[in-house]
Amino acid sequence: MNLFTGESSRALFGGDAPESVTRLLHAAAAAHADPVQAEALLWSARLSAPGCLAVYFAQYKFYFYRRRFEEAEQCARDGLRVAAGQARIGRHWREVQGGDADFSAVGPARFWLFTLKALAFIRLRRGDRAEARALLAKAAQLDPADNLGAGVIASLEGGSAPGPEAGR
């Protein structure tokens, strides 16, 4: 179970985190009142398992909730890069197409798309509406049924982000 979402890590990330990482993530969540300790635990988890997607999620959420948007963005972009490699969609996010991977199936491609949505929200919070719109348009293209909820971010953006019909 992912402590940050309530969702099973297998469903969100395509596999369970190693036990050592799970312990570090649990400890980081328990240490939320001490952000220095929680941050150190998250970095320990990342250094011990740099391919574990759950760690990137925990890191960008940690920084985002503390309004440390630059660090949240870097962790999200790092997570995109790792997930892209695992999903074998190694191109820039703008070049990814629906046929490159099954974005609805459990695994790194789904995490990649989920993180793309998160990156849109981070960019929106950083005041970059243009890139947020572009990220949301890509998410809508890859997830036309909006199973991962990018439409919620688009509505926060002011409704000006393209919907699932964009690009048709």
Q: What is the pLDDT of residue 68?
A: 97
127 class by beta-carbon count within 10 Å (0-12 exposed, 13-18 middle, 19+ buried): exposed
Query: What is the per-residue pLDDT across 108-137, written as a single tens digit (0 to 9) for each?
Result: 999 999 999 999 999 999 999 999 999 999
The residues spanned by each domain of the chain are 9-153
Does pLDDT of 152 surpass 50? yes
Percent of residues, the chain, with pLDDT higher than 70: 84
What is the pTM assigned to this prediction?
A: 0.84
| pLDDT tens, residue by residue, 17-28 | 889 999 999 999
Q: For the domain 9-153, what is the CATH superfamily, name and number?
A: Tetratricopeptide repeat domain (1.25.40.10)
Angle, alpha carbons 45-49-50 (nearest 5°): 105
User: How confident is the model at residue 6, as a pLDDT?
Assistant: 44
Mean pLDDT of the chain: 86
Calculate mean pLDDT across residues 17-46.
Answer: 92
